[in-house]
Amino acid sequence: MAVTTWSIIGLLALCHSSIAGYTKFPPGFTFGVATASHQIEGAWNVSGKSENVWDRLTHTRPELIADGTNGDIACDSYHRLHEDVEELVALGVHFYRFSLSWSRILPTGRIDYVNPDGIRYYNELLDLLAENNIEPLVTLFHWDLPQSLQDLGGWANPKMIDYFYDYSDFCFKEFGGKIKSWITFNEPYEICEDAYGDEKKAPAIDSHGVGNYLCSDTLLKAHAESYHLYNETYRPVQNGRIFISINSIWYEPSDPENSELVALAEVANQFKFGWFAHPIFTVEGGYPKVMVENIARQSEAEGLRKPRLEQFDAYWIQRIKGTSDFLGINHYTTHLITGAGVDPIAKSPSWLKDIGAVTTMEVGGDSASEWLRVVPTGFANLLRWCKISYNDPPIYITENGFSDRGDLEDYGRIKYFNDYLSEILNVINDDKVNVLGYTAWTLMDNFEWRAGFSERFGFYYVNITDPARPRTPKLSVQYYRELIDNHELPHFDRYKDPSVRTARRC
């Protein structure tokens, strides 16, 4: 009798919540929303800002941008930061993740000249946030490198370790009184693989299999030096925290029963996430063993004297290890590993060829972005893997979101948030993964890099044909606000697309 009653209650609970078993977030769990300087600020050539690599790319090769747009005006946040903050207040977020534009603050890229207007702009934003009790979470580098430093080789030049150190030092000193949470780099994979190993991101240096690995060497060292500077010099006075945001497409075997595919998916995850996480978050440090071995083997076959990726020496392994207070994760989607060998789209040499596996996109819900398939369970698997691989680190989700073409009734986005957040609750409760906070991408539709404005991820719709760049709240604003206010997933039935009828057996 008791058993039967409980089974019925269990069934009802399942039907009632339809997707999520858990709905309440743990006490202290925080919610925010993210943006990036180049994607929203505009004002590319005013008040002393210098040219960055995205200005250069969009002006010299506009055909690379899907809709021919650029970041010259973008959302005009440079002139509209009061509106931005009003939107943040309307959302009710605990924190706002934004990035500093290096070329607006230090136009030469070096600390020999400071642009006073850059300092003024960010202080104004920080003061507005403080007045509204919104905590800043500030990214030092979100892809908009000063062109002057790119002219010297950008992240392929080891001298960048010094330039990034000086820039970080300047920002900690200037803004550190108002900022308690720093992120050094946003998505190192995209910086190194897409910008120095491919043309997918600026500066679009297609040095596949070579430039990407020079970049990771420099970037990880630059990250570590910035961390140590903060840890030793600024943390004792400013009491903040500093970490890195690593992005991942999570790879799963197309057939979970096939042990070869299971092993290859692990290799792919080491190449993707482990490339930057392993040197920082493991006890042994350094690049993942399988990466070092695969690339050494292929480099030898190519007749090279040294591997294209060199393992760090003992000094740097030690220096890089442990340099992140949290594991920041940007996650959107899951792809599949379908076989061994060289992926048909892989160039030679390249990161993809070095993996030695064939990848395809997961069959899942579609978004406006070709690469973004909706696979909520993949997020849970990634989070469990991070807990195991990196000794149970405290985790902040620093980006997660969904693109459409700009729907005001953005049911697809709401469903995405609901389903991905449900998976986060599952791993927090069932697997004790230590997730402390969540950041939605993004505050408003913005310049989505090579997709221009054709793929829209925002809570607010931005009309880019109107010079005033008016922002209109989408339905997801109400959803996220309700979620944050109640510290609980809203009842999804109230936000379901009425045009989609789903058969329910309850």
Residues of this chain that bind ligand NAG (CB under 6 A): 45, 72, 228, 231, 322-323, 463, 465-466
Which residues pair with residue 96 across a beta bridge? 33, 136
Cα(221)–Cα(154) distance, rounded to whole angstroms? 14
Q: How far is the CB of 314 from ligand NAG (least distance, A)?
A: 16
Listed in sequence order, the residues at least 6 apart from 181 whose beta carbon sits closer than 8 Å to its beta carbon are 95, 135, 136, 137, 138, 240, 241, 242
Q: How far is the CB of 253 from ligand NAG (least distance, A)?
A: 35
- 331 vs 469, beta carbon nearer ligand NAG: 469
Cα(289)–Cα(381) distance, rounded to whole angstroms? 22
Residue pair 97/32 in contact by the 8 Å Cβ criterion: yes
- 206 vs 284, beta carbon nearer ligand NAG: 284
Residue pair 223/230 in contact by the 8 Å Cβ criterion: no
Listed in sequence order, the residues at least 6 apart from 284 whose beta carbon sits closer than 8 Å to its beta carbon are 317
CA distances from 117 to 20, 79, 179 (A): 47, 12, 19
Q: How far is the CB of 55 from ligand NAG (least distance, A)?
A: 9
Which H helix or E strand runs over 89?
helix 81-91
Cα(16)–Cα(7) distance, rounded to whole angstroms? 14
Listed in sequence order, the residues at least 6 apart from 66 whose beta carbon sits closer than 8 Å to its beta carbon are 450, 451, 452, 454, 455
Q: How far is the CB of 229 from ligand NAG (least distance, A)?
A: 11
- 18 vs 231, beta carbon nearer ligand NAG: 231
**For every residue of 418-483, which 3-state class applies, written as one string?**
HHHHHHHHHHHHHCCCCEEEEEEECCECCCCHHHCCCCECCCEEECCCCCCCCEEECHHHHHHHHH
DSSP-derived 3-state class of residue 384: helix
Q: How far is the CB of 236 from ligand NAG (least distance, A)?
A: 8
- 228 vs 491, beta carbon nearer ligand NAG: 228
Q: How far is the CB of 71 from ligand NAG (least distance, A)?
A: 10
- 44 vs 379, beta carbon nearer ligand NAG: 44
Cα(427)–Cα(418) distance, rounded to whole angstroms? 15
Which residues pair with residue 360 across a beta bridge? 336
CA distances from 345 to 100, 171, 337, 360, 481 (A): 35, 41, 14, 10, 42
- 69 vs 150, beta carbon nearer ligand NAG: 69
Residue pair 31/430 in contact by the 8 Å Cβ criterion: no
- 60 vs 348, beta carbon nearer ligand NAG: 60
Pairing of strands 241-253, 327-340: parallel
Residue 399 among the catalytic residues: yes
Query: Tokens 């946003």 label which residue?
Result: 186
Q: How far is the CB of 322 from ligand NAG (least distance, A)?
A: 4
Q: How far is the CB of 6 from ligand NAG (least distance, A)?
A: 49
- 58 vs 418, beta carbon nearer ligand NAG: 58
Candidate list 41, 187, 399, 455, residue with the active-site label: 399
Q: Which residues participate in catalysis according to the annotation?
A: 399
